[in-house]
Amino acid sequence: MPSVVIIGAQWGDEGKGKIIDYLAGEADVVVRAQGGNNAGHTVIVEDKKYAFHLMPSGVLYNDKKNVIGNGVVFDPEGFLKEIDILEAQGVDTSNVMIDERVHVIFPYHKKIDALEEDARGEDKIGTTKKGIGPCYMDKIERSGIRLGELLDREHFKSRLFSQVARKNKLIEKYYESQGFDPQEIFDTYCGYADRLKKYITDTTVIVHEALVEEKKVLFEGAQGTLLDIDLGTYPYVTSSHPTSGGFCIGAGVGPNMIGEVIGAVKAYTTRVGSGPFPTELHDETGNLIRTKGNEFGTTTGRPRRCGWFDGVMVKYTSRINGLTAISLMLLDVLSGFDKIKMCVGYQYKGEIIHHFPADLNKLAECKPVYKELDGWQEDITSIERYEDLPENAKKYIKAIEEYTQVPVKIISVGPKRSQTIIREAIF
């Protein structure tokens, strides 16, 4: 089955964008199926830097179909800005398709996201304030507005006015803040709809046809497994399913249509936002990883929390996604360390455990049990073949494979397309 899923197998920001971009070169169709413009991928091609939020990464190639599937929450303002920036950079965006079912993010979603974060005080989730959670709330509550609805002006007006009236009550009475003028939103969004019309379609048909015709379909994950609303570190999660199963729902495909499932995994661990993080480093080593790895958010610019590779976590994310391969990212960042640590168990109440606890209080009490490996000093950023990596780098990769029981098929040694070692063909 020539279809490949790429998901983040940690807390997001694993560098998926680069591998997605790399494999998109071989794909016919690239599909996003969850999340929204809370995501941030940076892709570097011939020293040009492209930042993606909502746009599928295949857009940099002229001959790919780029699908934004039904499971996405869609911010028209953000999307059109992205289109404008890409077009100004000379990228052709005519091959983009957006499913008519995507739920639309409105200004009140963003405002409620921010107000709710403030109201949570110390317990804040650390959301991107892009309105993701409130938009998914409306979807689940069955009051959300879908993109296709914007094309019927009269219908849209009545739906929007009724939604704004409800949201204003919440914003004004509960949060004691200022509500919205529905007419203003209507006029703005009608302008967006005019520009978006040409992209809107039933993308489930396009994806299905491609799969049936055995075309190469690349399912592009956003965020990471531990941010999954069900299987992640709840409540410090996003509101969608950034797991392999999320593609079935978010793109309308059956599980039997999914072939390879690749987990993008950093050679260390990072996290943005709040919540327990067993291998987090609060010392100079953590700072060094942050600086060398340029660990600052693409969407928010926030410094990311950094720590050693957590095998227990990746074993868990591998199990719940059914990973068939690991793409090991940012290995070059670990060059120059005398010793490298890898977490191979948690100590919990005097016992060593190898499963990732669902209970966050329990996770917060887990202390990492480390395997210490010798590091390597060589610069590996121009190495093209696995065999040419320093012996200690190979030992580190082997240790990851042995602990997680998943083969490392791709290794990334720098941000450029060319800095990618493929050990086994993917498509």
DSSP string for 245-302: HHHHHHHT--GGG--EEEEEEESSEEE-SSS--TTB--SHHHHHHHHHTT-B-TTT-P
Binding of residue 40 to ligand IMP (CB under 6 A): yes
CB 75, CB 36: distance < 8 Å = yes
Binding of residue 243 to ligand IMP (CB under 6 A): no
Which three-class secondary structure state does DSSP give residue 61? Answer: coil
Binding of residue 38 to ligand IMP (CB under 6 A): yes
> Does 92 participate in catalysis according to the annotation?
no
CB 292, CB 413: distance < 8 Å = no
Looking at the Cβ atoms of 131 and 368, the one nearer to ligand IMP is 131
Least distance (Å) between residue 186 CB and ligand IMP = 26
Q: What gap in Å lies between CA 285 and CA 296, rounded to an integer?
A: 16
CB 355, CB 397: distance < 8 Å = no
Looking at the Cβ atoms of 124 and 215, the one nearer to ligand IMP is 124
Looking at the Cβ atoms of 125 and 171, the one nearer to ligand IMP is 125
> Which of 202, 204, 104 is closest to 150 using CA atoms?
104
Q: What gap in Å lies between CA 184 and CA 394, rounded to an integer?
A: 59
The single residue among 125, 171, 226, 380 that binds ligand IMP, judged by CB under 6 A, is 125
Which helix (H) or strand (E) covers residue 108, if one does? helix 107-120
The single residue among 30, 145, 227, 325 that binds ligand IMP, judged by CB under 6 A, is 227
Looking at the Cβ atoms of 132 and 340, the one nearer to ligand IMP is 132
> Which of 230, 18, 276 is closest to 244 using CA atoms?
230
The single residue among 12, 56, 182, 221 that binds ligand IMP, judged by CB under 6 A, is 12
> Which of 210, 287, 208, 298 is closest to 254 using CA atoms?
208
Choices 35-43, 80-88, 188-196, 243-251; region in contact with ligand IMP by CB under 6 A:
35-43
Q: Which residue is nearest to ligand IMP (CB)?
A: 273
The single residue among 19, 39, 98, 248 that binds ligand IMP, judged by CB under 6 A, is 39
Backbone angles phi, psi at 296, to 5 degrees: -130, 140
Cα Rg for the chain, rounded, in angstroms? 22
Looking at the Cβ atoms of 126 and 407, the one nearer to ligand IMP is 126
Choices 63-71, 222-230, 318-326, 342-350; region in contact with ligand IMP by CB under 6 A:
222-230
Burial pattern 227-240, b for ≥16 Cβ within 10 A else e, equals: bbbebbbeebbbbb
Instruction: Name every residue whose Cβ is closer than 8 Å to that of residue 346 and which is 6 or more positions away in sequence.
Output: 278, 312, 352, 353, 354, 357, 366, 367, 368, 369
Least distance (Å) between residue 132 CB and ligand IMP = 4
> Does 241 participate in catalysis according to the annotation?
no
The single residue among 3, 70, 163, 223 that binds ligand IMP, judged by CB under 6 A, is 223
Half-sphere exposure of 84 (CA within 13 A, CB side): 8
Q: How far is CA 284 from CA 280, 289, 335, in A?
A: 12, 9, 16
Binding of residue 54 to ligand IMP (CB under 6 A): no
DSSP string for 127-152: --SSSHHHHHHHHHHT---BGGGGGS
Binding of residue 273 to ligand IMP (CB under 6 A): yes
Binding of residue 241 to ligand IMP (CB under 6 A): no
Least distance (Å) between residue 105 CB and ligand IMP = 11
Binding of residue 346 to ligand IMP (CB under 6 A): no
Least distance (Å) between residue 297 CB and ligand IMP = 7
Eight-state DSSP code of residue 400: H
Binding of residue 19 to ligand IMP (CB under 6 A): no
DSSP-assigned beta bridge partners for residue 328: 265, 411
The single residue among 4, 13, 104, 252 that binds ligand IMP, judged by CB under 6 A, is 13
The single residue among 127, 203, 279, 412 that binds ligand IMP, judged by CB under 6 A, is 127
Binding of residue 263 to ligand IMP (CB under 6 A): no
Looking at the Cβ atoms of 238 and 412, the one nearer to ligand IMP is 238
Looking at the Cβ atoms of 155 and 302, the one nearer to ligand IMP is 302
Of 41, 53, 103, 241, catalytic: 41
Choices 32-40, 43-51, 313-321, 324-332; region in contact with ligand IMP by CB under 6 A:
32-40
Least distance (Å) between residue 275 CB and ligand IMP = 7
Catalog residues that contact ligand IMP under the rule CB under 6 A. Answer: 12-13, 38-40, 125-128, 130, 132-133, 222-223, 227, 236, 238-239, 272-273
Active site residues: 13, 41
